[in-house]
Amino acid sequence: MKLRSDAVKKGIERAPHRALLRACGLSEEDLEKPLIGIANSYIDIIPGHVHLRDFVQPIKEAVREAGGVPIEFNVIGVDDGIAMGHFGMHYSLPSRELIADSIETVVNAHQLDALICVPNCDKIVPGMLMGALRVNVPTIFISGGPMMAGEYEGKKIDLISVFEGIGQLKSGQITEKELLAIEQKACPTCGSCAGMFTANSMNCLTEVLGLALPGNGTILAVDPRRELLAREAGKRIMDLLKNDIRPRDIVTEEALDDAFTVDIAMGGSSNTILHLLAIAREAGIEYDLAKINEISKRTPTLCKIAPASHYHIEDLDRVGGIPTIIKELLKEGLLHGDRRTVSGKTLKEIAQEAPDADGEVVRTLEDPYSRDGGIAILFGNLAPEGAVVKTAGVVESMLKFKGKAVCFDSEEEAVDAILSGKIKPGHVVVIRYEGPKGGPGMREMLSPTSALMGMGLGDKVALITDGRFSGGTRGACIGHVSPEAASGGPIGVVQDGDEILIDIPARRLELLIPEDELKRRLENFKPKRKEIPSPWLRRYAKLVTSASKGAILEA
C-alpha cells in the first residue's frame, strides 16, 4: 500500500527526514509503517480533558498492535464554563478555527497517513471535525466521555444547577451555604458536563455523522467501557486506512440531514446548528438553513435530557444511547439507514443491535414529547437570515409570546439588569453586539439565561440575541439572530418599548413596528464599533461570517 507518509520517508533525498524521525524514537521497521496522527486535546483546566493524557495511551497501544506508528500531537482548548461571563469568552468560538487550523497544519506538514481525534468539550469537537474534513485522510473520533451527574439532597444536579443557583440566591430562594453545597457537588468526576449541552450533543452527533463508534457520546468517562471503546478506535483506524475510507466519503449531505434529525429528536444544543453548518462548509456542502425547519416538522422530540428534564447523559447511556434513538427514528424512515460509518456497519446495522426505546428516557414514536422537533429556525423582519431556538427547553406557554423590548448592548449590562430586578414579566430582553463579528467571538451566554431562571422569570420573559447560548440554556431564548447588529442587522435598531412577536410554531420573529419606520431606522443606522484590544480577535472580527453561515472565516 502506497502511503502518504512516504513523502517524508522514502528515497535518498529524504535521508535528513528519516534522521529526524529516528531522533523521535522511530525504528527502521517503523519507517515502513503508516504514521497515524493522534490529535489529543488534553489540558489541565477542562474537566472533560484532564484525563486525556492517560486516556490516549491505550489508543496508541492499539494502533501499534494493529501495525501503525502513533504520532501524538496536541490542540488547544477553552473551557466555556470557566471562560463564561468575562472577557475570556471572546476566545471560545475563535478557538474552533485555531483547532481546525492546527489539525490541518500538523497532518499536512508531516504528511500523516490517518488521524484519530480525541476531543471532548465545547469547541474542540467541531474544530477537530472541521480539520478532519479539511485534510480528508482516514479519520476516527473517540471522545473522553461525559461526566457523572452530581447529587444534592436526593436530586441529580449538574453545572447548570450552579449557574441557576446564583439567581436563586439573589431572589432569596436559597442561602449562600446551600449554593456552596451545590457548587461542591455539581461536577463529581472528570468528563464533559453531564447534560445534553454542546459538548455531549456534538459527541453524540459524531456517532450519527458516522465518524465515531457507537457509545462515543454517552459512555461515561469513568466507565471501563470507555477504554475498550478507545482501543477499538485504535484498531479501526487501520481498517479505514487499508480501505481508503475518508471523512468526505462518510460526511455527505444525507449524513448532515441525519445529524440534524437526531439533534432535533434528542433536544440537543442549539450550538450544534452553528457547528454543523461550519462542518458542512468544510465538507464542500452548501447546507440551506431553512432545510432544518423541514426536518424539524417531520421529526418528533423523543428525548429530553438536562437541562430540559431531570435525566442526564448517563440515563441515556443506560437505555441504549444514540443507537436506540436511531433505531426508533428508522421505524418511520426518518434517517438514511444504509449510510456507512467508521464502525464498518451501516446505521441500520448499528440500530439492529440496540435496545428498544424504554418509553421514558427515550420515548417511542407513538408517545413523543412533541410531534415536531426540539430545535427551530425562526425568520422574520428581525431575523431575515434566521435565528435559532431550542424548542425542547421552552415551556408551552412561551411558544407564542409578545412583549416589550428592553435593549442591552452587552451581556454584562443585561445580567446586571436581571439580577437587580429591572426585568419584569412580559419583557423581551434584547442583547446585541454579541455576534461573531460584534462580540467578537459570539460569546456563549449562560449567565443571563440562568439568571432569568433563578429569578423565577423563565416562563414570563423571553430573550433574543445575535450572540449564542450555552447548550445548558433553557427557556424562550432565541440566539444566532442574523444579520447581527455589527453587520447592520435589524436587531441593532430595536428600541426600548418596541413590541416583539415570537411565534415558534409559525417560525416567526417579528419587530412589530410599521415597515416604513423599520426602513427609516435601518437607513440611518450606524453600527457601534468596539475597541478590540487583541490582534487575534481583530483579525477574527474582520474575517468571520454570519452565524447563518456557521461563523466560519472567509479566506
d(CA 306, CA 225): 23
C-beta atoms surrounding 154 within 10 Å: 5
What ranges make up the beta strands (E) of 409-457? Answer: 427-431
Secondary structure of 311-366 in HEC code, one letter for each residue: CCHHHHHHCCHHHHHHHHHHCCCCCCCCCECCCCCEHHHHHHCCCCCCCCCECCCC
The answer to whether 465 touches 488, Cβ cutoff 8 Å, is no
DSSP 189: S
**Cell numbers placing 371:** 410531534
Sign of CA dihedral 157, 158, 164, 165: positive
DSSP H or E segment with residue 105? helix 92-109
Cis check: omega of the bond before 307, within 30 degrees of 0: yes
* Cα 98 to Cα 463: distance, rounded to the nearest angstrom: 30
Alpha helices in 171-312 (DSSP H): 176-185, 198-209, 224-242, 247-250, 253-265, 271-282, 291-298
Nearest-10 Cα torsion for 299, 302, 304, 305 = -110
**470 among known catalytic residues:** yes
Distance CA 370, CA 390 (A): 13
Classify burial at 231, counting beta carbons within 10 Å of its beta carbon; exposed 0-12, middle 13-18, buried 19 or more: middle
Q: Are 187 and 147 in contact (CB under 8 A)?
A: yes
Q: How many CA atoms lie within 13 A of 40 on its CB side?
A: 22
| Cα–Cα dist 53/517, whole Å | 58
What cell was used for 324?
436506540
* Residue 316: half-sphere exposure toward Cβ, Cα within 13 Å: 36
Q: Which residues contact 7 (CB under 8 A, 6 or more apart)?
A: 111
Residues 6+ positions from 536 with CB-CB distance below 8 Å: 94
Selected catalytic residue, list 92, 201, 343, 470: 470
Centroid of chain to Cα 398: 25
Amino acid letter for position 164: E
Could you count the other beta carbons within 10 Å of the beta carbon of residue 86?
12
User: Do residues 431 and 462 touch, judged by C-beta distance below 8 A?
Assistant: no
Q: Which residues contact 81 (CB under 8 A, 6 or more apart)?
A: 159, 193, 446
Pairing of strands 508-511, 499-503: antiparallel
Residues serving a catalytic function are 470
